[in-house]
Structure 1
Amino acid sequence: MDVRAAVLEQGGAPLVVLDDVDIEDPKPGEVAVRVKHCGICHSDLSIADGVFPSALPVILGHEAAGIVEAVGAGVTTLQVGDHVVLTPCPPCGVCPWCVRGEWSLCVNADSMLTSAHPDGGTRLSRHGEVVYRGVGVAAFAEMVVIQANGAVKIPHDVPLDVACVVGCAVQTGVGAAINTAKVQEGDTVLVMGAGGIGLSIVQGARVAGAGRIIISEPDAERRATAMKLGATDAVDPTSDDLVAAVMDLSPHGIGADFAFDAVGRSALIAAGVEATRKGGTTVMVGVPALDDPLTFPLPALMAMQEKKVIGSVLGSCNSLRDIPRLIGLMQSGQLDLASMITGRVALADINTGFDDLRATTGIRTVIDM
């Protein structure tokens, strides 16, 4: 079946909207989902701009929601007509990482790097040539074929245009605070960057009961949004000494319990190490460019003070458990996802959405299919 999709044919070039991408029927254990809405994530931008390498041509997009259109043999958890949020890390439940409870490190997550299904196929082609499925979903298209565990059922009354951001930004950010860092009541948290991921971390820290949530963000409008969503203090890193500000704001002047780099810059990771207390933890949520090496400030002091730096992939989420939980938090008013969506474009205007992300215009742009 031919579907309409935005295809990246060359890194650094605009995406091209095509009407003749062929998508296969779902195989056993898979489902076909008609995509209704998809957010534009910075990971998509990094591939589009050639910062991260990818097989080409590729369909990007991995923060999506839609409706199940067909189910493959053996699928019992979903049926046609179900509303679902898609996830780039569908947990298999049986690999060495899943059995250890490290769901976001499941072997299925390798699809984000291989741009193919676990069996090596992509289910996508054009004129007989392979088209790759970027970041494990390929949702800048009218239809995707995904493993059944990669489509998580949500209630029909949840707006899909809002639910889509749970697929990446909200899982990643809220999960980083609750699952990866395990923020506790009263903790002091520093969040560096107030895009979709950073604002989700702020909200996750608030839900966890953090006592102080300090947002560091150069854009005044984003700082204001972070304060609305739960930050207690705001710092402009272009004019303020970030580390000094965190020390001043933290109880006893000892620094933050947790610092989160929500941007993906080695300089911010280093700043987080400096801004955390003895025994504190810096969480790498954003992914630095390949040519942005990390240099730790005073490694000997880090060792003596037991400071820690850890990574976080998709918020260490088990999507089958956490997507319904996050939707529930939204329904109860504990998470404000609608405020994070500041732009909407049609698929034909997808490059405008990418330009807005490059210019840090707004927070999250959602494509309406």
Structure 2
Amino acid sequence: MKIKAAVTYEKGLDFEIREIGIQSPKQGEVLVRMVASGICHTDLNARNQHRPVPLPAVLGHEGAGIVEEVGPGVNSVQAGDHVVFSQSSCGFCKKCRAGKPFACEKAFQLNFLGAMPDGSHRLYQEEQPLSHFFGQSSFASYSVASERSVVKVSKELPLEMLGPLGCGIQTGSGTIFNRLKPSIGSTIAVFGCGTVGLSAIMAAKVTGASRIIGVDVHDNRLVLARELGATHTLNSRDQDIVAAIRDLTGSGVDYAIDTSAHPDVFRQAVDCTAQSGTAVIIGGPPLGTQVTLDMNHLLYERSIIGVLQGNSVPQTFIPQLIELYQSGIFPFDKLLKYYPFEEINQAVHDMEKGKTIKPVILMENGC
């Protein structure tokens, strides 16, 4: 079948919308007619080869669509179901069997190395295979994905707004809800007020944190952070952030979350934690990135942890986030701005310049 896709041909170049071929779903796979896809910095990391995804590739990993066809052995969804995509996992390794698909031992292979689990491909341009990304390649009018990567969602909400739940929003909010689980009255600093950081701020508000400090270099993002739950905001261009956070809290924060993946920013996150505090990295730096820390600072009962995909089991967590949205306490729709598929490069530009928090591209097949 012929479909339309945004193809990445070379490192750092704009996406090119082309006609390509897609094969039918095999055992355990589903074919989904795409309605929309969020754009995430992880897509740009792959395009820029900070993550060595084989090129050419069809990127995209915050897809939402309608099941068109199911392959043999699929029983969790059927044609006509509305679904959101999330990360790919094997289902067989020790971590998956323990209910931790976010820590799948084959996650890098399944999400970044460009092929299906058996090494085959479903996307082609003429005779050349195109790399599959994050188990979905959602920058396309149709996608083939593993049954494990799709989450059935209610038809009550517009499907085009739900795609970002599968990565950025679940990563930020899941870090709070699933991993840190802060007690009422906790203090939290969030470095980077993009999709992931603002999702963490919204979640922190739900948990009853007493001080939620948003840090960014864009004033427009800090304004939105206040609207979504931050009690304080700081522009890191203007001041010594570690000193400012200590002034606000007295001794530092219980939790500091870095979404930027920049070594200097992560150092600030570590340094602003109080004794027995925890610094969290959830951004994806280029492979080989290193950071320097003061070991004496860590000696005083401070912890550093990394969190993948918000420690989320998407099939249960994404419906929970939808319920929070419907109850009015998790307004993630305020992060979104929609673009036609053909304007994908403009959407990327606006995100890179800080003008748009979460761009979502709409396919011509939309509901």
Give the TM-score band, short-chain normalised: over 0.9
Determine the structure 1 residue equivalent to 2:353: 359
- Residue correspondence of structure 1 range 127-276 to structure 2 within 5 A: 127-250=126-249, 253-276=250-273
- State the TM-score, normalized to the length of structure 2: 0.95
1:312 correspondence with 2:302: no
Q: What is the CA–CA distance in structure 1 between the aligned matches of 2:292 and 2:112, rounded to whole Å?
A: 25
CA contact (8 A) 1:68 1:84 kept: yes
Q: What is the CA–CA distance in structure 2 between the aligned matches of 1:245 and 1:60, rounded to whole Å?
A: 39
Instruction: Using the TM superposition, name which of 178-187 and 227-236 deviates more.
Output: 178-187
Q: Tell me how far 1:367 sits from its aligned partner.
A: 0.2
Q: 1:181 to 1:112 in 2, by over 3 A?
A: same
Q: Can you list the C-alpha shifts for 1:227-255, whole angstroms capped at 9, x where unaligned?
A: 101111001111122111211222xx121
SS for the counterpart of 1:194 is coil
- State the TM-score, normalized to the length of structure 1: 0.95
CA contact (8 A) 1:212 1:232 kept: yes
Give the letter aligned to residue 77 of structure 2: L
Q: Tell me how far 1:106 sits from its aligned partner.
A: 1.7
Determine the structure 2 residue equivalent to 1:334: 329
Gaps of 5+ in 2: none
Instruction: Using the TM superposition, name which of 128-137 and 150-159 deviates more.
Output: 128-137
Identity %: 35
Q: Tell me how far 1:338 sits from its aligned partner.
A: 1.2
CA contact (8 A) 1:345 1:366 kept: yes
Q: What is the CA–CA distance in structure 1 between the aligned matches of 2:309 and 2:121, rounded to whole Å?
A: 22
1:100 correspondence with 2:98: yes
SS for the counterpart of 1:133 is coil
1:300 correspondence with 2:299: no
Q: What is the CA–CA distance in structure 2 between the aligned matches of 1:46 and 1:34, rounded to whole Å?
A: 26
Q: What is the CA–CA distance in structure 2 between the aligned matches of 1:354 and 1:136, rounded to whole Å?
A: 21
Q: Tell me how far 1:180 sits from its aligned partner.
A: 2.2
CA contact (8 A) 2:135 2:149 kept: no
Determine the structure 1 residue equivalent to 2:12: 12
1:324 correspondence with 2:319: yes
1:80 correspondence with 2:79: yes
SS for the counterpart of 1:224 is helix
Q: Tell me how far 1:210 sits from its aligned partner.
A: 1.4
Q: Tell me how far 1:90 sits from its aligned partner.
A: 4.5
CA contact (8 A) 1:32 1:146 kept: yes
Determine the structure 1 residue equivalent to 2:287: 290
Q: Can you list the C-alpha shifts for 1:301-339, whole angstroms capped at 9, x where unaligned?
A: 31x212111111111111111111111111111211110
Q: What is the CA–CA distance in structure 1 between the aligned matches of 2:277 and 2:141, rounded to whole Å?
A: 45
Give the letter aligned to residue 112 of structure 1: N
Q: Tell me how far 1:39 sits from its aligned partner.
A: 0.7
Count matched residues.
362
Determine the structure 1 residue equivalent to 2:3: 3
Q: What is the CA–CA distance in structure 2 between the aligned matches of 1:211 and 1:89, rounded to whole Å?
A: 36
SS for the counterpart of 2:201 is helix
